[in-house]
Structure 1
C-alpha cells in the first residue's frame, strides 16, 4: 500500500469515527506503529487531521470556501479597502525590470493599478488579472492549463515541468488560511502544489492577506510561515512572532 493510499484510508477512518487509536490504525492497515505515527504527524502538518495522545481525530474547524464557483469575483468586494491597501504596498515592492508572478486572488487583483515600475514582465494564472494587464499595456503572460472555476485561474496540467524553467525576482500570492500550526494553506491540492512550485522558482515571495485569513486552516499546506514575506493590514499574536512580515 502506497503512502497516498494509506493517507486516504486514514482520512476516511477519522472522518467516519469520533477518534481512532494508533493501535486501530495499525491493525486495519497492517503497518507498524512507527509508520502510522509518521503518517499522522505529516497529515496533521497539512491540516488533514488532529492528533491526540495515542491516536487522531478529524479536524474540528477547517475553512471551506463559501462559494463553489466564481470565488474570486464574489470576494472582490469583501474587505475591499483593506485589500486595496495591501495591494498598493505590495506593488511598491516591484522594481524596474523585474520578472514577476502574480497569483489569482481577490487581493493581488488590485495590484495592477498601483505598479509604477518600468519594464516589468508579469506572468499570471489569473483570468481576471490578464485583462487589466492588457488595459494598462503591460507586458504580460498567462499560464496554460486547465481552468479552476473556484479560483478563476489557469493551472498547468504538469506544473512542475511548466515552472521549472521559469525564474522570478518576486512572486505575489494569495492564501485561504494562516496558522502557526499549518502555515499558509489553500483548499485544493492542484492550486497548493502550483503555489509551492512557484515559490521554489522565486527569489522573493510575498503573501498578501488581510486579518480575516488568520487562525484558520484549509486542506493543503503549501508553505511554512518563514518561507514567505507576509503583507497584511494589522497585528496579532501570529504576526508578532514572524520575522518576515510587513504591516501596512
Structure 2
C-alpha cells in the first residue's frame, strides 16, 4: 500500500531497511511507487544504506547486507560511472614520480585505463590493482604489506598502515563508500579507512573519486576530511546542482 505524505530521508531509509529486514530484499521501482518519490531518490537512499552497511545493492534493488562486498562483485556495480570517473582522473596522474592508489574498484578501473607513463611508481594495497598496473608501460607497481581482508581482498591491518606510513607520495588517488560535506569521506570497513588515512597523510595531494550515488552518504568509518582532498571527481557534469554543497570545499572535476 502506498505511503501518503512526504517522508524525510531518514524516514524513507528506515522504511527501506524495514522492508529488507522483513522480506530479504527491496525493489527500486516498487519502493519509489509506494513511497511516492522518484527512482533516483530510492537509488540514493540505497547507496547511503549500503555505505552504512545496512544492505547490499543488486540490479534493480537491494538485499540484506553481509558486510563489505567482495572486489569482483563491487567491480561489476556502476561500471559506466567508474569508467567515466577514470577517464576524467587519468590526466591528473603524472608521467613520472611516486603516487598511491587505494584498493577500490573505481581506482582499479583507472589503473586499467592509465596508459603509458615515463617513470611512474604506484603504491597500492590491492592485488587486483597491482595486476592491472603490471601491464602498463613505464609504471612500476609496488604492493604494500598487510593482511588480506577476506571480505574485500584489500591488504589492511597494522603492517599495511606501517608500510604506508614509511612512504611519501606526490599524489593519492582514492574512492570511498560515501562523501558528505560535513562528515567527509567514509568507509564501510574500519580497517580500510585506517589505511586510507595513512596514505592520505603521506601524500602531497589527494584526489577523491566517487560516483553520484555516494554523494551525501556517511558510512561507518571516516577515512578523510574534505580539507585533505584537493580534487573531487565524479561521473556528473561539474556544473550539476548535486555538487553545489562541495564547491566551496574542493575543486570539482
**So what's the TM-score if we normalise by structure 2?**
0.67
Match of 2:250 in 1: 244
Q: Which range moved further: 238-247 or 137-146?
A: 238-247
Q: Structure 1, residues 32-61: CA drift from partner, whole Å, max 9, x if none?
A: xxxxxxxxxxxxxxxxxxxxxxxxxxxx96
- Deviation, structure 1 residue 153: 1.0
Aligned 8 A contact 1:168 1:202 in 2: yes
CA distance in 2, matches of 1:75, 1:160: 23
CA distance in 1, matches of 2:142, 2:131: 11
Aligned 8 A contact 1:69 1:149 in 2: no
SS at match of 1:76: helix
1:82-97 equivalences under 5 Å are 82-97=81-96
CA distance in 2, matches of 1:111, 1:163: 20
CA distance in 1, matches of 2:83, 2:169: 23
Aligned 8 A contact 1:147 1:155 in 2: yes
Aligned 8 A contact 1:156 1:162 in 2: no
Match of 1:230 in 2: 232
CA distance in 2, matches of 1:126, 1:86: 19
Q: Provide closer, same or farther for how the CA distance between residues 81 and 169 of structure 1 changes in structure 2, counting only shifts above 3 A.
A: same
| Runs of 5+ unmatched residues, structure 1 | 1-59
Match of 1:219 in 2: 220
Q: Structure 1, residues 208-236: CA drift from partner, whole Å, max 9, x if none?
A: 10101112211111212222121112234
CA distance in 1, matches of 2:171, 2:78: 25
User: What is the root-mean-square deviation of aligned Cα atoms in Å?
Assistant: 2.2
Match of 2:125 in 1: 125
SS at match of 2:89: helix
**Count of residues paired in the alignment:** 188
CA distance in 2, matches of 1:179, 1:70: 21
Q: Provide closer, same or farther for how the CA distance between residues 244 and 117 of structure 1 changes in structure 2, counting only shifts above 3 A.
A: farther
| Runs of 5+ unmatched residues, structure 2 | 1-47, 57-65
Q: Structure 1, residues 170-215: CA drift from partner, whole Å, max 9, x if none?
A: 1111100111231110022221111111100000111110101112
Q: Structure 1, residues 114-168: CA drift from partner, whole Å, max 9, x if none?
A: 2443111011111211111223353111011100123321124244532232110
Match of 1:102 in 2: 101
Aligned 8 A contact 2:210 2:233 in 1: yes
Match of 1:63 in 2: 52
Q: Structure 1, residues 5-55: CA drift from partner, whole Å, max 9, x if none?
A: xxxxxxxxxxxxxxxxxxxxxxxxxxxxxxxxxxxxxxxxxxxxxxxxxxx
